Structure 1
Amino acid sequence: MPLLLAGHRCVGRCRAGADSGPCGSTRRAGWFVSRVLAGGGLLRLRAALTAWLWGQNSRLVLWLPVALAGGVIAYFALPTEPGGVVVAGGVLACLASLACRLLWPHRLAVRLGAGVVGMGAAGLLLAWGQAGRMPPFPDLPRRAVHLSGQVSGVEVQRLADGTQALRVALRGVRLDNGISIGMPPLRRWLSVRLQADDPARPMPGDGLRVRALLSPPAFPDIPGGYDAQRRAWFAGQAGHGRALDPATITPARVGGGVAGWLAGRRHILAERIRTALPGTRGDIAATVLVGADAVVAAPERAAFADAGLAHLLAVAGLHLAIVIGLAMVGLRTGLALSERAALYWPCRQIAAVGALLAGAGYVALTGAHLPAQRSLLMAGLAVMALLAGRRPLSLRALAVAATVLMALNPEGVTELPLQMSVAAVMALIAGFDALRPALSGWEHDDVWLRRVAARLAHPLVASVLAGSACLPVGMAHFGTVQPWFVLANLLAVPLMSVWIMPWGLVALGLMPLGLEKLALVPMGWGLGVVTWLAHLVAGLPAARIGVPAINNAGLALFFVGLCWLCLWGGRVRLAGLAPIMLAVLSPWLVARPVIMLAPDGRMAGIVAESRLLTGPGPHPDPFVLREWQRVTGLPAGMLPAEGTAGQVACHAGVCRVGDIVLVLANRPPAPGLCRGARLLVNLPGTWGCDGVPSIGRFDLWRNGAYGIYRQPDGRLVVQTDRAVRGARPWVMRPGGAGLPNLPLAQAE
């Protein structure tokens, strides 16, 4: 009833005959209300809902990117690749939605239905088209092979023992092994890590020849886990390799083009920075100024991650925003010094365009990584909005940027960078819009203490909003929570903005004169403070808490709640807190796997006594163990060789978990081993139990990783990677076999 009365009062305040804008929306809402005031409860509810939706008329467009993302997610959730009927239906849905929107523009139900259906179908078609245009995975040789190709990228990788090695990206790779001789080059690129002591220093554009051991993209280590094959499929990657001999370099004839020149400059600048600032400070400075990847030592990266400061070591939105902001302030200040420019020139717009060009140069200098490219695109849209006289930072600008990003790379919806960026920016814009009246009132208050508090509240509120929005995303992708992230970011981000990056940009400007050390030394002071802060916060109690990872359904539920909280207006937006809380609590509401089996059959994990026990052997695969810990959120341990650990009893290479028998060693069965067993997991796969379902090495080769769950009623549920992912283009055949690199027959 309050909504109905409010609708009548708003209609009375609008001018007669207004059919557009807020008054037009309110008049149409009041018309609906007046038609059904005498109706029943259902009609009144419908009228109230219609009036509320018309009141949210300006915000409905913000949900179009949400529907587009929903269509992309629906494509990836399909068990099989959509056929011609589904694709044709999607095209017809898009056309029908557009026609309905044009024919009945003022009907609310038509607008809502056409927007949701049309954008959802468009998202599905975009993802389908992106997946279909990618070339198939090649069948890589399983033995060492000589290969040659053209270098398209070089990065430094720090190994576990502290040494450094170069990792090169090769395109146009030709394999010199038997059947592949004389065949066309691979249509996908390869990532090859050179030997640590290899003196070769390749640059983009150079030719490279080396003997290497190749591997296809890895299968997921648990059903529903991280899918490296899907990521490699959309990235155009064929696999990765490890060099067995020193590489032979053929220098590019024309210098490798612009990419080669930039790579050479980047390498030279990184060496000069690390010479002026030795140690960790130089590694971090080279990372944020020229994009030197993986040069920061693993302990330092772990400390930054535990403190919630890992984003400072990745060139993305924060660093680009600082560079563009500093460039804009400098350009506008310089223009303001000229009386003629200040009076007659559009200084604000000129400074914005110049700052965007400076940001583009920074992105090119740091290697033009995909997260930096996305941030540059969003900055470009903000500058366009500024030139058009619109708000550069608004939910509409974010909606346009998200739509463009998803149209260019629909697979990014499932990846961490886009999820983090959208969640943080959406929370910042919506949060400051909601808090602006209170903050603005304190900023202009007569009491100086309130004015100071309002100024100090901005970085605190920004850290809380962005960190809280990214927290569930981090739980889903990393299985960790950093409770002290607000404290760390509250001090580190302002220091990065007002001290570290300004001195870094000055150092880049002084490098042609050879005076970069004058600016790098003060920059190093700030980096030393940030590093000290990272170690301090990482050493606090409960600085890094391992939690079970949020699954894909829980992550989708979180984004639904976040969008509801940020995109609607009024108190109804608070209803979005319910799905957010449910998504955060979902890892503890679903069953954990009792037993996990690696896809290669060499490792098994058992959840017992709030620990993850692995075997056989004392040296588990670190990548598999990290993924299992991410999913379970449990500390790792070893299966006992003899004895018990909670409900797990092991003897002579055989462990028993209730009615599940896990055989780790290739030994004959002991008498009575199969008594009472409901499932046999035999990794060697040499024998079985009569009448008992079994899982052996061949099953793992055929179906990938296994996850065994126990229901509350005691039933066992077995999940396999192949059943969860389905038959999709990026799901490789058993054993990682791809398509042979052979020319097609004339009929094909």
Structure 2
Amino acid sequence: MGGEETSYSDERRQFHGDRDLLAAVSGISGQPSQNRRLPSIPIYGLFLDRDRVKARIGRTFDAERDQGTQFLFLPVLLGIGALVYFAWPYEPSLLGVLVVASLFGVAAWRLRRHPLLKMLAAALLVVSLGALLGKVETGLKRTKIIGSEITTRLTGRVDRVEHQASGRVRLTLEVLATERPVLRYSPDRVRVTARALPEGVGPGDVVQGVVRLIPPSGPVRPNSYDFAFQSYFTGIGAIGFFLGNPVLAERSWPSLSVDAQARAKIELLRQKMAERIISVVGGPEGAIAAALITGIRAGIPEEINDALRVVGLYHVISISGLHMALVGGTLMVTLRCLFALWPAFATRWPVKKFAAVLALAASAFYLLISGADVAAQRSFLMLAVMLLAVVFDRAALTMRNLAISAIIILVISPHEVAGPSFQMSFAATAALVAAYAAWSRRRKSRRSHGTGVKGRTAVGRGVRNLISAAAALAMTSVIAGSATAIFSAWHFQHVSPLGLLANLAAMPIVSVVVMPMAVLASVLMPLGWDGLPLYAMGEGIAAMNAIATQLAQHSFLDSTGAISTFAVLLLASGLALLTMAQTSLRYAATIPMITGVIVLLASNPIPDVLVSEDARLVGVKTSDGAVAVNNPRPRGFTIENWQRALKATNVLKPTHEKAAAMKGEFQCDELYCSAKHWTGAIITYTASDDIARAACGESTVLIIADATILNPCVDGLTLVLTSRDLALNGAAEIRLPREPNAPAKLRQAINLPLRPWHDHRRYSRAARGLAEYKGEPSRSRPLPSTAPKDADQ
């Protein structure tokens, strides 16, 4: 639904108070193009005359080609290719990918006289190019990730400092040296936490201390977020924590390169700005204000984060297209108003272009001080394309500009296509662009037929504008929320039932008060005049927090449980066709979307048992909707993820009562834990060889928490998972049999052979079948993790 391009000023009049990147950049406009009305295909009579149907379909595809729809699908096809590469069961060779791309290129050229076959070959060529981009990015990264937990004395240069709400400090360090022991395969960068830092330590300084380094984990269950994948592409080779407070080794600014000094100065500026904001605003509001301006989110209390997530307002915290648009839009409107004060200058020079260039420069500065995370980079690219369109007298808000932004991002960072941020951002933006284009065409049609309302009084027009603004904000939330709901359910097993109400209440405050005051405070901060705008910003954030907290207390169940991958693919393909097709071809999107809904409702991908990759935690879904665990102190992130995936209402801790196993809970003693599922299946957890042998044939599932013990069961009736299996293949999900003597079905998060971002797993002691080092916690019985809570990923 791209259709006729309209200027931004027209869009703004139609949708006042829009919270999205597309309408928040006030003042962007371009020259509307005069596109002809697109043909449509009537439904009746399609199957009566084959030639007639063929001719109409041909005209429809010709109209799509004339409107440039093929270009709009380029990022979609590139993204599909990148996803295919990252999901491939083994690492393909670069030569193989090049050969496949070449074959499709030759096929497209040879089939140039057969339009449909040529289009298919060209689409497959673009898909193969997307896979090639993923392969090239993977080969260029070569991030070194440690294979096992290890304690060493580390010397590192501080790259980033983040003060957390718990009082600890998280450091991103460039590793300079290790000793006692010297790591033969040392990571280049690590992320570690400390209780406190020496006075005055900041970016660019060198610190030393004894650290416990831990490899980044894989998914906590199949199809879950993969920390190792993200760490590989962000260059983080280990996480961990200081065993004592680090000490300052040297202030190495003079020895840094010019580029390193520039990065350190930017980080130091971010840190000082965050400290200034937090000191002036104070409390949770100060932490959120610092996050909105500097991108440092570590200091936000977890209860506020949870409330914002529950009601669908957490997107306010991340540096996204909304923030970039509000920063650029606020400055652009302000500059155009200032230029208007000098009519002689404004009438002789293209002040709109001047304002766009200055807004782009300000947005680039905002990108730097916000930390330049990948999500912020993506948002800046989207805004930059639109502002540059204004400079070159092109329409700013079009699907073509969105496609250009997506192509740039996919070329630079193709791995982002696998992440929720990329998928949700572009899904929402594409849906809003398409909806705005359709509404614009409808408005123009009504005006051309003279059906618009005329003769209203000033009061009537004001009331109508207020109603229109509220309706615009509501529709923006509905459209964006609907487009992103499937991805939110897939990645987080979470939807926000009160998201529309929360956004209607909070987003006007964010758009009108919080972000404009953030821009003003940033401008006035060097002069020391930022107190008043920061105070106003804090009051706006306090109002947003109050809305989120109140609604979160009344929010009903928002967990969707694990959903079908096939259903997600069908719904996503339908969304792409619906938003990008320019003619009645968009109605074809109903086929994959209806099919996707049917698959979503008919499938039941929720497993019965989940096992963590370190073999320390087992979760079993009980008949009353809870999840029973074998560990009295399960890791918070893991159990929360499992609760959402299993759609579990609460967590049942293990007990020593002998009847507990019959109720679905884990009954544990010094040597083993056991639970009985409502299907009658028995799940046994142990690190004892003797108990493992005794459980063969008696237990449906046996988890052996000792890498030195091999599978003792030879009858094939018991599904056995050892620590070695889990160390290599990652976390597991199990479906228990519903019929007697039927086997349990196992699926694990990682396939063999290992891909580059998982290759470090084969070097762990458990993966090599070795026992743990002496002095480490024994796994002969369930024990809580000894790492600090904030060392969890």
Query: What TM-score results when the alignment is normalised by the length of structure 2?
Result: 0.81
1:142 aligns with 2:153: no
CA displacement 1:27-48 (0-9 Å, x = unmatched)? xx99xxxxxx9x9965554434
1:166 aligns with 2:180: no
> Residue 606 of structure 2 corresponds to which residue in structure 1?
592
After TM superposition, the structure 1 = structure 2 runs for residues 526-605 of structure 1, keeping only pairs within 5 Å, are: 526-542=540-556, 545-580=558-593, 582-583=595-596, 586=599, 589-605=603-619
> Residue 112 of structure 1 corresponds to which residue in structure 2?
119
The one-letter code matched in structure 2 to 1:190 is V
How many angstroms does 1:123 deviate by?
0.3
Q: How far apart are the structure 1 equivalents of 2:94 and 2:525?
A: 58
After TM superposition, the structure 1 = structure 2 runs for residues 158-307 of structure 1, keeping only pairs within 5 Å, are: 158=165, 163-180=166-183, 186=186, 188-195=188-195, 197-249=196-248, 250-254=250-254, 257-307=261-311
The one-letter code matched in structure 2 to 1:458 is A
Question: Which of 631, 635, 647 is 1:617 aligned to?
Answer: 631
> Residue 731 of structure 1 corresponds to which residue in structure 2?
758
CA displacement 1:64-122 (0-9 Å, x = unmatched)? 21111111111122111113552232341364267459x65xx5325522430221110
Q: How far apart are the structure 1 equivalents of 2:372 and 2:721?
A: 46
| TM-aligned CA distance change 1:23 to 1:429, over 3 Å | closer
How many angstroms does 1:260 deviate by?
1.9
CA displacement 1:553-611 (0-9 Å, x = unmatched)? 43332221110111113444244245345546655513321111111111111112253
| TM-aligned CA distance change 1:649 to 1:152, over 3 Å | closer
The one-letter code matched in structure 1 to 2:219 is P
| TM-aligned CA distance change 1:24 to 1:279, over 3 Å | closer
> Residue 675 of structure 2 corresponds to which residue in structure 1?
655
| TM-aligned CA distance change 1:251 to 1:444, over 3 Å | farther
What is the root-mean-square deviation of aligned Cα atoms in Å?
A: 3.4
How many angstroms does 1:225 deviate by?
2.4
SS of alignment partner, residue 546 of structure 1: coil
The one-letter code matched in structure 1 to 2:732 is Y
How many angstroms does 1:238 deviate by?
0.5
Q: Tell me if the contact between 2:353 and 2:390 (Cα under 8 Å) persists in the aligned partners.
A: yes
SS of alignment partner, residue 226 of structure 1: coil
> Residue 96 of structure 1 corresponds to which residue in structure 2?
106
Q: Tell me if the contact between 2:221 and 2:748 (Cα under 8 Å) persists in the aligned partners.
A: yes
Q: Tell me if the contact between 1:25 and 1:54 (Cα under 8 Å) persists in the aligned partners.
A: no
SS of alignment partner, residue 323 of structure 1: helix
Q: How far apart are the structure 2 equivalents of 1:662 and 1:672?
A: 13
> Residue 12 of structure 1 corresponds to which residue in structure 2?
none
CA displacement 1:619-675 (0-9 Å, x = unmatched)? 222222122223222223225543257873765632233453322355765999666
> Residue 58 of structure 2 corresponds to which residue in structure 1?
50
> Residue 17 of structure 1 corresponds to which residue in structure 2?
none
| TM-aligned CA distance change 1:687 to 1:61, over 3 Å | closer
1:342 aligns with 2:343: no
The one-letter code matched in structure 2 to 1:501 is M
Q: Tell me if the contact between 1:594 and 1:708 (Cα under 8 Å) persists in the aligned partners.
A: yes
| TM-aligned CA distance change 1:108 to 1:387, over 3 Å | farther
Q: How far apart are the structure 2 equivalents of 1:301 and 1:320?
A: 21
Q: Tell me if the contact between 2:145 and 2:232 (Cα under 8 Å) persists in the aligned partners.
A: no
1:643 aligns with 2:642: no
> Residue 391 of structure 2 corresponds to which residue in structure 1?
387
Q: How far apart are the structure 2 equivalents of 1:650 and 1:301?
A: 32
Q: Tell me if the contact between 1:546 and 1:630 (Cα under 8 Å) persists in the aligned partners.
A: yes
How many angstroms does 1:266 deviate by?
2.1
Identity across the alignment (%): 26
How many angstroms does 1:193 deviate by?
1.1
The one-letter code matched in structure 2 to 1:719 is L
Q: Tell me if the contact between 2:681 and 2:736 (Cα under 8 Å) persists in the aligned partners.
A: no
The one-letter code matched in structure 2 to 1:655 is A
> Residue 706 of structure 1 corresponds to which residue in structure 2?
732
Q: Tell me if the contact between 1:153 and 1:169 (Cα under 8 Å) persists in the aligned partners.
A: yes
Q: How far apart are the structure 1 equivalents of 2:363 and 2:228?
A: 33
1:445 aligns with 2:453: yes
Q: How far apart are the structure 1 equivalents of 2:593 and 2:189?
A: 40
Structure having greater relative contact order (Cα 8 Å, sep ≥ 6): 2
Q: How far apart are the structure 2 equivalents of 1:379 and 1:234?
A: 24
1:308 aligns with 2:316: no
How many angstroms does 1:728 deviate by?
1.4
How many angstroms does 1:409 deviate by?
0.5
How many angstroms does 1:218 deviate by?
0.6
Query: What TM-score results when the alignment is normalised by the length of structure 1?
Result: 0.85
Q: Tell me if the contact between 1:550 and 1:586 (Cα under 8 Å) persists in the aligned partners.
A: no
> Residue 13 of structure 1 corresponds to which residue in structure 2?
none
The one-letter code matched in structure 2 to 1:633 is K
> Residue 439 of structure 2 corresponds to which residue in structure 1?
435
SS of alignment partner, residue 664 of structure 1: strand
Q: How far apart are the structure 2 equivalents of 1:713 and 1:111?
A: 51
CA displacement 1:494-518 (0-9 Å, x = unmatched)? 2111112222222223323323212
How many angstroms does 1:452 deviate by?
4.5
Q: How far apart are the structure 2 equivalents of 1:323 and 1:22?
A: 32
| TM-aligned CA distance change 1:273 to 1:85, over 3 Å | closer
SS of alignment partner, residue 245 of structure 2: coil
| TM-aligned CA distance change 1:134 to 1:541, over 3 Å | closer
Any unmatched runs of 5+ in structure 2?
Answer: 1-33, 768-793
Q: How far apart are the structure 1 equivalents of 2:322 and 2:132?
A: 32
CA displacement 1:180-218 (0-9 Å, x = unmatched)? 4xx6x84631111122x3335432222222210000111
Q: How far apart are the structure 2 equivalents of 1:728 and 1:226?
A: 16
CA displacement 1:431-451 (0-9 Å, x = unmatched)? 111122445659952253655
| TM-aligned CA distance change 1:521 to 1:25, over 3 Å | closer
How many angstroms does 1:295 deviate by?
1.1
Q: Tell me if the contact between 1:222 and 1:598 (Cα under 8 Å) persists in the aligned partners.
A: yes
The one-letter code matched in structure 2 to 1:538 is A
Q: How far apart are the structure 2 equivalents of 1:132 and 1:737?
A: 23
Q: How far apart are the structure 2 equivalents of 1:673 and 1:252?
A: 60
Q: Tell me if the contact between 1:704 and 1:720 (Cα under 8 Å) persists in the aligned partners.
A: no
The one-letter code matched in structure 1 to 2:168 is A
Q: How far apart are the structure 2 equivalents of 1:690 and 1:713?
A: 21
Q: How far apart are the structure 1 equivalents of 2:584 and 2:381?
A: 33
> Residue 685 of structure 2 corresponds to which residue in structure 1?
664
| TM-aligned CA distance change 1:497 to 1:466, over 3 Å | same
> Residue 19 of structure 2 corresponds to which residue in structure 1?
none
Q: Tell me if the contact between 2:38 and 2:583 (Cα under 8 Å) persists in the aligned partners.
A: no
SS of alignment partner, residue 328 of structure 2: helix
| TM-aligned CA distance change 1:209 to 1:716, over 3 Å | same
SS of alignment partner, residue 193 of structure 1: strand
How many angstroms does 1:551 deviate by?
4.9
The one-letter code matched in structure 2 to 1:144 is T
Q: How far apart are the structure 2 equivalents of 1:455 and 1:617?
A: 52
Paired residues in the alignment total 699
